[in-house]
Amino acid sequence: MIQAEILARLRVAPGSKVSLKDYDPGWAQTKEMKALGKTAVKERAQAILDQNLADLAAAQELLYADDRYAVLLVFQAMDAAGKDGTIKHVMSGINPQGCQVFSFKQPSAEELDHNFLWRYAKAAPERGRIGIFNRSYYEDVLVVRVHPELLARQKLAVGVGKKRFWKDRYEDINAFERHLTRNGTVVLKFFLHVSKEEQRKRFLDRLDRPEKNWKFSSADLAERGHWDEYMRAYEDALSATSTDWAPWYVVPGDQKWITRVVVADVLTTAIRGLELRFPELSAEQRAALKQARDQLTSEQR
C-alpha cells in the first residue's frame, strides 16, 4: 500500500489553485526505494503491483456482491501519458463482468444535438460495477477550450461568448458529479501528468518501433504544439472541479509503474472506504436453502 500521506499529496485540495509546476511528473522514488537500487526497485515495484491487484480483486468482488455502489474512474491526460496502459493494468486485476470501459472520441452528430453531458451520463456505471472513462466530459473544457472551432460545432444558443462560459461548465460538471455521488457512484479523477520531454521520447519510440507505429498520429504532434494552452486549461479545470465529493489526483506520469500503483491504490482505498457487505439472507431465504440442500442430499444413494 502506498502511504496515505503520499496519496494525500497527489490529491488536489478542493478550492486550491493548481499550478502544475508544483507536481513533479518524474517523482517516483521514496528515499527507501532509492536506497534499494534500480533492480531492487523494479522487483519491489512488481511486488507492490501484484499485491495491489490482489487487494483490488477482493475489493471489487465485494463491490459487485453488495450491488449498491458504483465507482467511476475518469482518466484525462496528454497523448502518450499512459492512459491505455494504466487502464489495461488496473483491469487485469478485476473480473471483466464487473467493469465497463468507455473511450470518448470526437462527438457524433447525434451527440452534438444534445447537452454536452448527455453521452457521458448514458455511459455511467451500473451499481456494483467499476466504470472507466478513457477521456470524459472534461474534454469539453479542455480540447474544446484549446480549439474554439469545436465549440462552434456544439450549436449552443446560450452563454457562448460570455465571460462566465467556462465557469458555468465547471459548475455543471460539479453538479453532475455531485448527483452521481449522491446516488451511490464514487467518482475518482486522474490526471496523468507526463512531462513534455517524456512525451517526446514516447512519440519517438512509437516512430522507431514498427509494432508501435499504429499508436502514432500526426494529430498528436499538432496537439503537442498547443502544450502550454493545454496546461493552462488543465490547471483551470483541476482548480475548479476538485471537490470533496469528486477529487482530482495529479498522478506522476513519467514512470509507468508509479502511475499504475497510484491509480490502483486510490481505487482500492476508495472501495475499502465504503460500507460494503455480502448480501445477508433472510430467515425465509435460509430456510429455502436448507430445503434445497435436503432435497439434493436425499438424491444420493
Note the residues at the interface with ligand AMP (CB under 6 A). Answer: 104-107, 135, 139-140, 143-144, 150
Of 128 and 256, CB closest to ligand AMP:
256
As given in the structure block, the three cell numbers for residue 175 are 453538479
The residue (of 135 and 189) whose beta carbon lies closer to ligand AMP is 135
Q: Is 225 or 282 the residue whose CB approaches ligand AMP more closely?
A: 225
Q: How far is the CB of 106 from ligand AMP (least distance, A)?
A: 4
Give the residue at shortest CB distance from ligand AMP.
139
Task: For residue 29, report the phi and psi dihedrals to the nearest 5 degrees.
Answer: -100, 130
User: 159: phi > 0 → left, psi -120 to 50 → alpha, else beta; which?
Assistant: left
Q: Find out whether 185 and 125 touch, Cβ atoms under 8 Å.
A: yes
Closest CA to 17 of 171, 285, 238: 238
**C-alpha cell of 226?**
498547443
* 41/144 with CB nearer ligand AMP: 144
Q: Which is nearer to ligand AMP, 53 or 81 (CB)?
A: 81
C-alpha cell at 93: 486485476
Q: How far is the CB of 127 from ligand AMP (least distance, A)?
A: 26
Residue whose CB is less far from ligand AMP, 119 or 178: 119
Give the DSSP letter string of 194-249.
--HHHHHHHHHHHHH-GGGGGG--HHHHHHHTTHHHHHHHHHHHHHHH--SSS-EE
Q: How far is the CB of 282 from ligand AMP (least distance, A)?
A: 46
Is 116 strand, coil or helix? coil
Task: Give the shortest CB-250-to-ligand AMP separation in angstroms.
Answer: 19
CB of 176 to ligand AMP, least distance (A): 14
Minimum distance from residue 91 beta carbon to ligand AMP (Å): 17
